[in-house]
Structure 1
């Protein structure tokens, strides 16, 4: 089978109109992620029926589970940027080798991190502020989830291989199918049915493990046998070392940048925990709703980087600039509309996700303040992913440090001291404003420098 023929069936990232190309790549990602995250909210909904303690317990797990997921995201970013640049330069044979190395690397590193997490559940969650009664539920959930996390590594990195080649439809189908399996199994395993015993919060983790295991098997079949996008063998040690270095050069700073988010969120969760279990439950629900509200931004953060990397590899800096600016304008307008929608629907949403009046009131307060900063957050997220796509991972890492630990955590903490939870929510919006301004100006400067370098090379060449 000709791999050149397969590649031609994908969107032409180097020559097709920018707006239509990005739309063609992003829409499937949006649909897949909407289904996946909707099913994630279903997961939260079923756990909430168990009680406030269980909902608070699963809210405590978000910073920790996102740490493991962040490693996969970082490795996926390194994989996508490396493979897309080789594809843009016409070196598809190297792209296959690097895809194989990335899959091997992700399985090894995630397995090690999951093992460390499994052995440190109690001290980590006590540090986050979990009570002994909540730790009982956290142990039930995390003992299974860490095993499940290993099954997540290969689908996430495998999807990055597909996106690097311009295929965003298949990753969307894989995500949606996994979410659907999880949503179907959730009520059966949490509450039981017939011969199936009620497993409570542990059932939610088992449902997740089964869904990810199915996705793992399918993505390997697709990449190795059906598409031939990776090699049908393990790499030799020298090949693995060579590919790992290239992927980790971008992937480690990207993973580090992503891991900063759960660390910062862990600090904020500890601050929120001082206001009681109701506040922690609100924070957990709010974070899940934020993922849905920012779905378009998250989809663009997966479709824009392959576009930028391929055009960067081909020397098409004009298309890089135009694609970036188009996305910046779009996300600001889109997220403003999302904020208005959430503000109007906040009473209804609060009633759906909370039975207790105090929790419902806090969820409504969250939705009337925090989403105002989602457009600014979109600029930060897309700029960060664009830095990685341009093979500037340290700039992306520094931007994440700036956002979280220079602006977001300190300003949010100050806001909580001055005006309690409302002050904390509003301070997050201010932090996003300051970071977005820095991010936009920083990336524009990088674009100017790359264009000047390219012009100089053309003159000397």
Structure 2
């Protein structure tokens, strides 16, 4: 069987496969991170209060993305495995059930946003202006969240079948639209009304909805590996259970980013609103580095799922090894960048002298942890591809909740704001050690006769 008769995920050389599948997604995720930065940069030009309002609302966006990611990971891993097993009818059913699950998630978040959006923002501030701007932003983003949930599913249908270039196209369209609509709706340019932070939210959801529609058009018209038919559809409890079993741990893992942001906001609030604003800015800056790793993982999951279904542990081992090398290289570059020019990066957001005084040393401390986190994230993606979502979740809990928040709170109370940031390198080092141990344990159990992570030593990285 050759590359013409079998999906490339089963036959293409592993290094070339990783690059060809990952690069389009990595590029699209970089674009997404860039327009998130552009979005905050425009909002910062309204006022520091506007930037703070958006920073307080950001955990809600992260939570929606977490649930959408979990749904996508479940669909991605299960669909690629069915394709590897040559079960076309079951693969098509996974796709349809994935769309159904995305619609359910949208309706739940729309209701929650309408009912509890203002209450959520009020948990962090009593400032009337910030409260109103934050409430407006949360309400728009949740009520119109159909774009984010369905776009994730549309993109994962492309990824699971190896069609990552189409994923890049939808992300590029969404990013360009957001960058165009942001200044028009925020500042009221031409015939558009001046809507401030509400305009930023409208620009984001409009871009997501348009990209989502294009994504489904591409799947129906050009994705020949999956046949998306919704006529006569009935939810399949077995498939939905399979998607949730794989995707729920991934959703919880991703939602830890939201929990971490909420927790850090609570820790930083007693020091100053500027500290809260800085953390929101830093999060979007670091996304510019982490998004390529997330993009690579999006390609890694179906590659591993396909070869797991095809019973090819040798290919799985090689794919993971190449992914570790690539991820560590990206984060090494990021460490150098963040250590060298933290002040210019913060000035992209009109950082005040107070924010620079807080942010420059903070960024330099946190940047030490980047390479450790790269290894943890790649191995988490590999575990998800193997269907071991709960093991991946344990690593994420170690990195983003169990250690970092208690350590940050303790350091804040004992030594002050400048010491809070040391919690991040400590947590990432623990996650690094835990991820290596967990992946080795899982691969030895699943493939007892195959070489697992024996060659992943410091010299390989």
The bucket for the TM-score relative to the shorter chain is over 0.9
**Structure 1 residue 132 displacement after superposition:** 3.4
Distance 2:417 2:326 in 1: 31
Residue in 1 that maps onto 2:454:
none
**Structure 1 residue 139 displacement after superposition:** 1.4
Q: Give 2:428's match in structure 1, choosing from 413, 423, 432.
A: 432
Q: Give 2:14's match in structure 1, choosing from 11, 18, 26.
A: 18
Are 1:232 and 2:237 matched, yes or no?
no
Between structures 1 and 2, the one with greater helix share: 1
Residue in 2 that maps onto 1:459:
none
Tell me, yes or no, if the aligned pair for 1:11 and 1:21 is still in contact at 8 Å. Answer: no
Tell me, yes or no, if the aligned pair for 1:225 and 1:232 is still in contact at 8 Å. Answer: no
Residue in 2 that maps onto 1:121:
117
**Structure 1 residue 279 displacement after superposition:** 0.7
Residue in 2 that maps onto 1:98:
94
TM-score (norm 1): 0.92
Q: 1:253 to 1:355 in 2, by over 3 A?
A: closer
Residue in 2 that maps onto 1:362:
358
Distance 1:57 1:8 in 2: 53
Say which SS state the counterpart of residue 34 (structure 2) adopts: helix
Distance 1:103 1:154 in 2: 7
Tell me, yes or no, if the aligned pair for 1:285 and 1:363 is still in contact at 8 Å. Answer: no
Distance 1:135 1:159 in 2: 34
Distance 2:126 2:237 in 1: 41
Distance 2:348 2:7 in 1: 40
**Structure 1 residue 131 displacement after superposition:** 3.6
- Output one character per residue of 1:332-378: Cα deviation in whole Å (capped at 9) or x when no partner: 23312211122111122222222421112323223212122112112
Distance 2:388 2:227 in 1: 25
**Structure 1 residue 454 displacement after superposition:** 7.5
- Output one character per residue of 1:385-415: Cα deviation in whole Å (capped at 9) or x when no partner: 2211111122122222222332121122222
Q: 1:271 to 1:406 in 2, by over 3 A?
A: same
Distance 2:349 2:247 in 1: 36
Q: 1:398 to 1:129 in 2, by over 3 A?
A: farther
Q: 1:25 to 1:130 in 2, by over 3 A?
A: farther
Distance 1:34 1:257 in 2: 21
Detail structure 1 runs of 4+ shifted over 4 Å in the superposition. 7-11
**Structure 1 residue 104 displacement after superposition:** 1.1
Unaligned runs of 5+ in 2: 452-461
Are 1:452 and 2:448 matched, yes or no?
yes
Tell me, yes or no, if the aligned pair for 1:57 and 1:135 is still in contact at 8 Å. Answer: yes
Residue in 2 that maps onto 1:317:
313
- Root-mean-square deviation (CA, aligned residues, Å) is 2.1
Alignment of 1:90-239 (within 5 A): 90-129=86-125, 131-228=127-224, 229-234=226-231, 236-237=233-234, 239=235
Deviates further, 19-28 or 121-130: 121-130
Q: 1:381 to 1:10 in 2, by over 3 A?
A: farther
Q: 1:235 to 1:67 in 2, by over 3 A?
A: farther
- Output one character per residue of 1:170-205: Cα deviation in whole Å (capped at 9) or x when no partner: 111111110110110100110012332211111101
Q: Give 1:375's match in structure 2, choosing from 371, 375, 398.
A: 371
Say which SS state the counterpart of residue 160 (structure 1) adopts: helix
